[in-house]
Structure 1
Amino acid sequence: MTEAVDTTTAPNAPMGVHAIWQSSTKVCRITDFLPAPAAEGLLERAVSTARDDLLPARVRGNQLDTHTRRSLTHRGFPAPELLTAIDAVSDQVEKVLGVSCTGTEPSYTLNVHNDGDFYRAHQDVSSRDAATGVVAARRVLTFVFYVHRTPAPFTGGALRVYDSSVPLNVHHGGLRREDCAYRDYGPDHNSIVFFLPSSLHEVMPVSCPSGEYADSRFAINGWLCRTDGA
């Protein structure tokens, strides 16, 4: 069994382990990830995103499937301060998760979940991706960074990570979530989670009574991806 580690330190401080759970799926979580003004700036930027820049989120193969995923997404959202902070902790995250991010570059989107939105259990990289050589197979590390108004004007929206992971060289139908234990990670403002793209995970349904865009659960999620020459 391996460790899932929660930490509560800023990027420029040594990581401290505050809790350890026995799990076969490693998750690294850091709270108060950015300086407070930087996190508030990202939130303001997300809230002021032009509606024309937001599109319905899609699933693998660029398919629109509202039974599997319902949210809005913005692929051109600027978040340079977040990428700088991720780079600052990459060495420590590599040690926790047992991966190497050498020769990678970030790819990410802003994702907006409002009332009733969700993303059912899925993997960011599957054995099928590895076998067929699709772009997703270059993903080395998944990250999700959360910002929202405080106190949170919504409930739900936890990241549920299942206690199992499929090695990329295993060729079968994949995982069934009903066969796995799980742990929920709340979408706390200015927190980030890192985990392996092969981990089975989902976004639990969000309840946002006001329905106002500014009251949404905002998340910048993406991957560190191997470059073509890596």
Structure 2
Amino acid sequence: MTQPIRRDFFSDLNGGTRIEIFDELSDTAKAALHVFFRRMGAPHLMDEVVAPLFYDGDSQIFAAVRDRPWPPWGLGARNIVAVLQTHLVADGCWGLSPVQVADEDLTNVGLIAALYKEALEALSVDPTAEVHYLLGEDSRLADLVLRRIGFERTEDVFLTEAARYLTYRAPAGDLLTSLGLAELDTIDVLAGALDDAAFERNAAFHSTVYLASRAEWVVDRVSVPSEIARLVRGGHYSKPASVPTGTGRFEREAIAEVAQGVREFLTEAEHSDLLAYALRKQDDFTPAAVRPPGTNTAVVDERVRSTLTLDELEHFEQIFVERIKEHLEPVRARLNHPAFPVGRIEVQVAANGDRDFFGMHRDSDDGDTRELTFVYFFSPEPRRFSGGELRIFETVTENGKIVPTERSQTIVPRANLAIFFPSRHDHEVLPVRVPSKAFADSRFSVAGWIHRK
């Protein structure tokens, strides 16, 4: 039921405000956004944060606009007064920027709530969509405010040079309800239809998120912590080079047992030559086959795996075999994997294009000679795809059967990174997005399997 309209200081301004969603950025839209960020004192945000996130794909910009009365066209006609950006972090998980407003609208709760409502409604088309924020581990104010409106604090950890962060998440649809926005029209929210309780909840939530995030985009020093940190593609799985990649649900020593990484696995020249070789061989890639459980026959089944593979690596095969053997013993020890006599080593190139994936599977069961699986990433940087994270679940043997545990690692595909893990571990490749659809922009990897004799 619509709440009674309560007139406030901003009623007249909001009466001439509309919400616009940018699915693409024209030159005039970019100009208007540049003007907005300059007016709010952070002109660098457009080129350093907003545009890169937007062009990376799976991102939308929601803007509150007050049009110039005359002439209502051309440069300067679109006066943006508030901006909110959404971007996909992982499957069904979305990062939302604070609602950024110019100084004259900092306390315009109706405007801010209306913009947030529009974003949540867009995300809620997917009933499983979640909103995620990263809060400093010892946060008090932001922790209190977010949990009061339904955010769950998880033990998923993100480490930066400045601080340690925990992931907070809430279903997008539930947030609409807890903020009192589900039953109201956007126009009514702008006009002042929020009751006092919903008004206070929205004011507390948005002002906290805005202020707790401000240090990150105002202070140009990575050593200065911000109470709320920006989520990047891959979410809490993306960490500095010195930090083990993983969800962080367990102590670092335990996480290290699931998978181990080796950076700069090939020389720079070898890495470049391998990429050039894969591009030359584009016509030789074929649809990947899988082996259904209980059979020895490989078949193409794109319901399970959608990708292209290349079995012939020419001289690169020997390079990989030698480099794998070079790193095998220290990696095996760090994995706490039992020693085994090394047999043959298989290698295969994979190219994951737009919407390709590989569902949950394991490379070895009882009786198979595969001991360790190896994955090497070699797409060009900067990446021109999103997604494609490698998610690995630890497995244990119970009552003679291999079963997965809740411990997992999710690895962002970074160039020249090699990952080793036991072949019995369940793992998957999350869906890949390649906006250009070009083969050269694919997620490229070399998969390998180390057999025991």
Please tell me the TM-score bracket, short chain as reference. 0.7 to 0.9
Residue 397 (structure 2) aligns with: 167
Residue 274 (structure 2) aligns with: 42
The structure where strand makes up a greater share of residues is 1
Partners of 1:123 and 1:160 in 2: CA distance? 12
Q: Report the CA distance between 1:106 and its aligned residue.
A: 0.6
Partners of 1:160 and 1:110 in 2: CA distance? 19
Q: Report the CA distance between 1:144 and its aligned residue.
A: 0.2
**Higher-Rg member (1/2):** 2
Q: Encode CA deviations 1:148-207: one digit per residue, 9 max, x unaligned.
A: 111001010010012x314398237x54xxx73432101100000000001011000000
Structure 1, unmatched stretches of 5+, are 1-15
TM-score between the two structures when normalised by the length of structure 1: 0.79
- Is residue 2:368 matched to residue 1:145? no
Native 8 Å contact 1:145 1:221 kept in 2:
yes
SS in 2 for 1:22: helix
Partners of 1:24 and 1:37 in 2: CA distance? 30
Gap change, CA 1:25 and 1:170, over 3 Å in 2: farther
User: Comparing 200-209 with 55-64, which one deviates more in the overlay?
Assistant: 55-64
Q: Could you tell me which amino acid in structure 1 is paired with residue 360 of structure 2?
A: A
Higher relative contact order (CA 8 A, sep 6+): 1
Q: Report the CA distance between 1:22 and its aligned residue.
A: 2.8
Residue 110 (structure 1) aligns with: 349
Native 8 Å contact 1:94 1:101 kept in 2:
no
Q: Report the CA distance between 1:72 and its aligned residue.
A: 0.4
Gap change, CA 1:36 and 1:168, over 3 Å in 2: farther
Native 8 Å contact 2:259 2:409 kept in 1:
no
Native 8 Å contact 1:68 1:120 kept in 2:
yes
Native 8 Å contact 2:255 2:409 kept in 1:
no
Residue 194 (structure 1) aligns with: 420
Q: Could you tell me which amino acid in structure 1 is paired with residue 382 of structure 2?
A: P
Partners of 1:36 and 1:202 in 2: CA distance? 28
Question: Percent identical across equivalent pairs?
Answer: 28
Q: How does 1:115-126 map to 2 (within 5 A)?
A: 115-126=354-365
Native 8 Å contact 1:99 1:140 kept in 2:
no
Q: Encode CA deviations 1:56-84: one digit per residue, 9 max, x unaligned.
A: 11111302111110000111223222222
Q: Encode CA deviations 1:117-168: one digit per residue, 9 max, x unaligned.
A: 0001111112xxx2xx4xxx01011000010111001010010012x31439
SS in 2 for 1:124: coil
Q: Could you tell me which amino acid in structure 1 is paired with residue 347 of structure 2?
A: Y
Structure 2, unmatched stretches of 5+, are 1-240, 245-251, 292-296
Residue 409 (structure 2) aligns with: 183
2:290 to 59, 63, 66: 59
- Is residue 2:387 matched to residue 1:156? yes
Partners of 1:168 and 1:83 in 2: CA distance? 33
The structure where helix makes up a greater share of residues is 2
Native 8 Å contact 1:56 1:73 kept in 2:
yes
Q: Report the CA distance between 1:25 and its aligned residue.
A: 4.8
Q: Report the CA distance between 1:50 and its aligned residue.
A: 4.2
Partners of 1:99 and 1:17 in 2: CA distance? 26
Residue 265 (structure 2) aligns with: 33
Q: Report the CA distance between 1:21 and its aligned residue.
A: 5.2
Partners of 1:121 and 1:158 in 2: CA distance? 13
